[in-house]
Structure 1
Amino acid sequence: MSDLLWQKSGIATDPRIMRFLAGDDVLLDRELFVYDIEASKAHVEGLANIGIVSADEADPLVRELDALAADFRDGQFVLDERFEDGHSAIEARLIERLGDTGRKVHTGRSRNDQVLVASRLWLKAKLEGLRATCTAIAEVCLDRAGREVLPMPGYTHLQRAVVSSTAMWFAGFAEAFIDNAWRARQTLELIDANPLGTAAGYGVNLPLDRAHTTRRLGFARLQVSPIYTQLSRGKFEMAALDALGAAVLDLRRLAWDLSLFTTAEFGFVRLPSQYTTGSSIMPNKRNPDVIELMRASYASVAAARTEIEQLLSLPSGYQRDLQASKGSVLHGFHRGLDALALLPDLLAALEWDAARMRAAIEPAMHATDVAIEASIAGVPFREAYRAAAEGAGETGQGRTPESSLAARTSPGAGSDLRLDALRTRLAELT
């Protein structure tokens, strides 16, 4: 491991303790490294603005930071166990290339605000990716809802209940993912605040140009209080995981539907072959592994959120416990976003079996229609309900799924899906 940023003369270090302290930080920091470099460039420019580094020093620092980012992307620079973390790697590289000029880069900042700003930039990018993925899912759902209206059973308590349609199914998930996209955007706005320049949580005796770093890094506002920057660590990550979790929770329910609908007992849906795998022992099997792992992805997101929440039983100010939150949020977002990213193409390609769905619609599923029609004619609804219940098997005779859907005129129901209203909401997000 390279020289430690905090090492003081005369104090020995124990390699076992150092391994425990570092954990897997240096590996996790590979995810944040380019954001850390970008924030370091903004910090150097801010130092130049207040005369702490000269233009002759700032320009080489920025050039070397750009070179480091390029080398990292190209694989010429590897962030590995030589370094305690990504922060120390940046400083070591600058000192190696620029000597004493490189030693000035950490003036006025701490690894506390350094990790906060890199994490915040990373979270902003991930939340924007979440918003874009949710809108893509909603677009596919709205497209299919508008193109095909195939009757299918609607279920409550996993029992056949009323006539529904593929259009209603798609419209339901379209609205869900529109809401999820809105939540991603709102959460991004919540965390879009610049913590750089708060140092270890109490500020420094320098007139740091925090307005410059805020503009330079594309933040919407300054996170003003140094103490709050530390209080917000974990809190903002949980908010981001909550937004991701809302989308992955809808994914889990959608995946459950498809898991049921693809069984031989239902037979409503055929998945594209690339979304299934074979059995290692049963030659006849094709398994819906992709949707099952989509269903499982919520567990990773929920676990990440819970782990961070359990870390936050802390007083104000920075505590080293917070280091453990980094792996949780990275893992949760990887699992959740990877699962969601597969959904648009799957929804666009799945095939409905219209005949199987129609065959599953029983005459008794028209009983609610019969009761409503009687109440329209003046029969008190509870009396109409009892009459329809007593003759449920016969009351549906002669009716068709199409007529049931056409009669469902309440806003959002079978004959009035309000897809245009959903498209308008979606357009506001793109």
Structure 2
Amino acid sequence: MLWKAEEDSASSQTMSFTTEEDGLEEKILPYDILGNLAHVKMLQEQAYMTEEELGKVEKELKNLYSYDEEINAEDVHTFVEEKVSEETNAGKKIHTGRSRNDQVSLDTRLLMKDSSIEIGLKAVKLVKAIEQFAEEKNELIPGYTHQQQAMPSSTGLWASSFADALVDDLKLLKNSYKVFDQNPLGAAASYGTSLNIDREKITELLGFESVQKNPVYCGNRGKHELMLLQALNHIMLDLQKMAEDIINFSEDQQVFKIPDGFCTGSSIMPQKNNPDTLEMVRAKAEEVNASTQAVNGIISKLPSGYNKDTQQTKKHLINSIKTVVDTLEIMASLVQDLKVKEDFKVKTEVYAAYTANQKVEKGTPFREAYEEVKKNQEYEKNQKIKKPKNQDYSDVETYWKDERVEFNEMKNRLI
């Protein structure tokens, strides 16, 4: 326990109320170890720790990297410091030149980088699954406006619209990543430290693009977390729409057959095959949206400098990351197995605009052609199946692959 039991110290009730929920600290631990390893290397170079002390501290930190038991401490930072200090007196030096404020910011930033890379690569995998579906299972279906059959479309054109949307989401994720790819360590409690620390060295060791220079801005936590959540929210918005479309097209409209492995039966109605997976995608999208709004609300009216309120952003961030990762994985699997029913009937009215355009091609003014088709209700069918339309995403795919290599190399150098 960092705080000694004294008469005027925080009560156990207060400590319980102000510490993290179960399970969150364990998710932060690997990133805290990486940050500690970089920090102590810098301390040794700046003569705040001897080489012998560094060796002992590094050994204990590396032993904790794969620690998989429950963390029974005020927080992960206290846990690590106490565990190292139990084995070597040099552990009492690892907090030199920093605060838990910039330490938790650093841990969160590393988690955000690692998770963004994972999400970026999983989103690319889903885009590829969608594009394969669009090419191999392209059938004529109606396109809808106002939830009514409107014009000829295709399963390929429909599917590739979500690939297109996800590529835009990947660009947004990349942009947010490039903004928060800054090292906040060294800001201490929001006002820097008088000790001669080397922030550039830590930035280099941890693979950050740059130092986040203003310490007060470093202490104003939450904005970068919100930025990532907004990018994740866009991904879930598109997956939510895709899930809704598949549900709508799978039963009454008989376009898709959802694989049985993604459905459940009814406890009372033998004929039912319920699209539970897709319904959960819709609900989980709302959870990510709610977390985005929650973080926005938590940080929106805070004064400058560190405020304890921002601790509550962590659970929203970590839970949303897991939700997006899980949803991308399940949707990629579902799309790969999604079946298209080839006997779907398209109403002849969907060819109305095409019929009018054919009259225009023969010289009839469009408004006259429009009125003729509307009056006569005779339609010229166009059975040509629309091809998928995709945008290139090779640059974002390469970006996330390169970032994964760099992040893994950083871990391997330190561990």
TM-score normalized by the length of structure 2 = 0.92
Shift of 1:418: 4.6
Which residue is 1:290 aligned to? 277
- 1:89-100 equivalent positions in 2, closer than 5 A: 89-99=79-89
TM-aligned CA distance change 1:425 to 1:204, over 3 Å: closer
Distance 1:90 1:425, change over 3 A: closer
**1:106–1:424: structure 2 CA closer, same or farther, 3 Å change rule?**
closer
- In structure 2, the partner of 1:155 is 144
The answer to whether the Cα contact below 8 Å between 2:161 and 2:389 also exists between their aligned partners in 1 is no
Q: Is the 8 A contact 1:117 1:195 kept in 2?
A: yes
Matches within 5 A, 1:182-193: 182-193=171-182
Find the aligned partners of 2:398 and 2:370 in 1 and give their Cα distance. Answer: 42
Gaps of 5+ in 2: 402-415
Cα distance, 1:138 vs. partner? 1.0
- Aligned residue in 2 for 1:401: 383
1:9-88 correspondence runs (5 A)? 11-24=8-21, 27-70=23-66, 72=67, 75=68, 77-80=69-72, 83-88=73-78
Listed as ranges, the matches of 1:302-381 within 5 Å are 302-312=289-299, 313-356=301-344, 359=345, 361-381=346-366
Report the CA distance shift for 1:201/1:428 in structure 2 as closer, same or farther (over 3 A).
same
Q: Is there any run of 5+ residues in structure 1 with no aligned partner, and where? A: 406-413
CA distance in 2, matches of 1:8, 1:213: 34
2:249·2:256 contact (CA, 8 Å) conserved in 1?
yes
More deviation, 143-152/321-330 = 143-152
Q: Which AA in structure 1 matches 2:144?
A: Y
Q: Tell me, yes or no, if the aligned pair for 1:142 and 1:171 is still in contact at 8 Å.
A: yes
Which residue number in structure 2 is paired with residue 261 of structure 1?
A: 249
CA distance in structure 2 between the aligned counterparts of 1:12 and 1:255, rounded to whole angstroms: 52
3-state SS of paired residue (2:144) = strand
Q: Find out whether 1:109 has 2:93 as its counterpart.
A: no
CA contact (8 A) 1:132 1:181 kept: no
2:11, 2:180 → 1: CA distance?
38
How many angstroms does 1:10 deviate by? 5.5
Tell me, yes or no, if the aligned pair for 1:128 and 1:185 is still in contact at 8 Å. no
Distance, in Å, in 1 between the alignment partners of 2:394 and 2:92 is 54
* 1:202-217 equivalence runs, <5 A: 202-217=191-206
CA contact (8 A) 2:101 2:188 kept: yes
Matched, 1:387 2:387: no
Number of residue-to-residue matches in the alignment: 399
3-state DSSP of counterpart to 1:152: strand
Worse overlay, 318-327 or 6-15: 6-15
What's the CA shift for 1:336? 2.4
C-alpha contact (below 8 Å) 1:194/1:219 kept by paired residues: yes
Partner of 2:183: 194
Q: Distance between the aligned counterparts of 2:395 and 2:153, measured in 1?
A: 24
SS at 2:392's partner residue? helix
Report how far residue 274 of structure 1 moved: 1.0
Shift of 1:295: 1.2
How far did 1:424 drift?
5.2
Which letter does structure 2 place at the counterpart of 1:221? S
| Structural RMSD (CA) | 1.8
Q: Aligned to 2:110, which of 121, 139, 161?
A: 121
SS at match of 1:155: strand
Q: Output one character per residue of 1:331-388: Cα deviation in whole Å (capped at 9) or x when no partner.
A: 22222221122111111111000102xx1x1111111111222223332222222222
Task: State the shift of 1:391 in Å.
Answer: 2.3
**Secondary structure at 1:125 match in 2:** helix
Moved over 6 A (4+): none
Q: Secondary structure at the match of 1:164?
A: strand
The alpha-carbon deviation at position 166 of structure 1 amounts to 1.1
The aligned residue for residue 134 of structure 1 is 123
- For 2:396 and 2:213, the matched residues in 1 are separated by 33
Residues 188-210 of structure 1 show CA distances to partners (whole Å, capped at 9, x for unaligned) of: 11110000111111000112111
**C-alpha distance 425-155 of structure 1, shift in aligned 2 (>3 A):** farther
SS at match of 1:160: strand
TM-score, structure 1 as length reference: 0.89
The alignment status of 1:169 with 2:158, answered yes or no, reads yes
Whole-angstrom distance in 1 between the partners of 2:123 and 2:142: 26
Seen in structure 2, the aligned counterparts of structure 1 residues 319 and 423 have a Cα distance that, compared at 3 Å, is closer
Aligned-partner Cα distance in 2 for 1:104–1:425: 44
Q: Which amino acid aligns with 1:78?
A: E
Q: For the Cα contact (< 8 Å) 1:178–1:425, is it kept in 2?
A: no
Task: Go from structure 1 to structure 2 and tell me whether the alpha carbon gap of 1:12 and 1:428 turns closer, same or farther (over 3 Å shift).
Answer: closer
Distance 1:277 1:243 in 2: 31
User: Aligned in 2, Cα 1:187/1:320: closer, same or farther, shift over 3 Å?
Assistant: same
